[in-house]
Structure 1
């Protein structure tokens, strides 16, 4: 059983991530000296990021799903909350998060933004997740490393 798993940015479904007017792919350094690829939001008013963990092998107990991201110093358009949804077996978590508040004192630093939690049992099934905001202000400056599922600490 794995303690945690991650879907990196390339493995996510990011609306318009293939259009360089809206997103760009950047190399970011790891602590090990290696690099990983992250998706940097340049400018959108329609934000939609989704993905899933297919039949993850998780230890029993409470797990959380987190967006691993950072907000650039010059980010804008995040004063309104964005929506999230997480489904797993019979569980659905949904709500809103204010990313501007989450990164208020930590611009340009990677953070884990909790999208929800669930109780893992032996019959687990897929975990699906969405982060979205349709319409409203244009947004820029979010950098996404990926989405992780891990035991709740």
Structure 2
């Protein structure tokens, strides 16, 4: 039987076994019949998390005329959840879940003391508040997320999302980043957070260290570490930013949050 003789419903059933939304879009180019079948709800329903209602209030779920439209609504823009403390989004090409823990969802040492940190808003942020560092010599920030809300069988990475404006004090010691499962092993790495620092301003402890890169939304990000979610874990993922050894005052760091998203390895 030729492909043109197959009912659209049968083609849609075939497309529903595609591994990713990107595969569906590629297959939709095969013919007009495949393009029409690729619009079916049965194709896109499998890419929408079955536990969506467990962390996304019904009032926050976009009203859509089709499952494909709902998928794109969830992947095109972040949805703010958890009383404004987190955002949720589907990664468009894979359909995997992504979360950003806002600064308010993190534990910031001295974060409630106005002489050290200021809570303010920035038009570029997805959240109502970000944390602006006035001056601390003890920089310590930590966060956690339940692994069960993430997509199973997926390699994830955590990224620190921030800005540096008139920053100072970050050239004395590298900042330590760590990611690990509660009760398990953690990965540690030293990084240079200030991208404006020149090599001749740094000592040998900074040689070869990773630096942040600029995102499409204008924020800086730097990878903190990775982990594989097998889908069998019931624990929490713990993430930490730490620089407490230099005793030098630091300034000009603006924290939006920590993003946990799938990591694609070439």
TM-score range, shorter chain: 0.7 to 0.9
Partner residue of 2:110 out of 1, 4, 16? 16
Alignment of 1:117 onto 2:226: yes
Q: Which ranges in structure 2 are unaligned for 5 or more consecutive residues?
A: 1-48, 50-95, 196-210
Q: Which ranges in structure 1 are unaligned for 5 or more consecutive residues?
A: none
The structure with more strand, counted as a fraction of residues: 1
What do you get for the CA RMSD once the two structures are aligned?
Answer: 2.2
Partner of 1:132: 242
Q: For the structure 1 residues 114 and 25, does the alpha-carbon distance in structure 2 shift closer, same or farther, using more than 3 Å as the test?
A: same
* Bigger radius of gyration: 2
Partner of 2:100: 6
TM-score by length of 2: 0.51
TM-score by length of 1: 0.86
The 1-side partners of 2:107 and 2:229 are apart by: 24
Q: For the structure 1 residues 127 and 103, does the alpha-carbon distance in structure 2 shift closer, same or farther, using more than 3 Å as the test?
A: closer
Equivalent residue runs for 1:64-75 within 5 Å: 64-72=157-165, 74-75=166-167
The 2-side partners of 1:66 and 1:35 are apart by: 17
Q: For the structure 1 residues 35 and 127, does the alpha-carbon distance in structure 2 shift closer, same or farther, using more than 3 Å as the test?
A: closer
Q: Please report how far the alpha carbon of residue 88 of structure 1 lies from its aligned counterpart in structure 2 after TM superposition.
A: 2.1
Answer 1 or 2: higher relative contact order, Cα 8 Å, separation at least 6.
Answer: 1
Partner of 1:42: 134
Alignment coverage as a number of residue pairs: 148
Partner of 1:82: 175
Runs of 4+ displaced beyond 4 Å: 103-106
SS of the counterpart of 2:115?
coil
The 2-side partners of 1:112 and 1:87 are apart by: 19
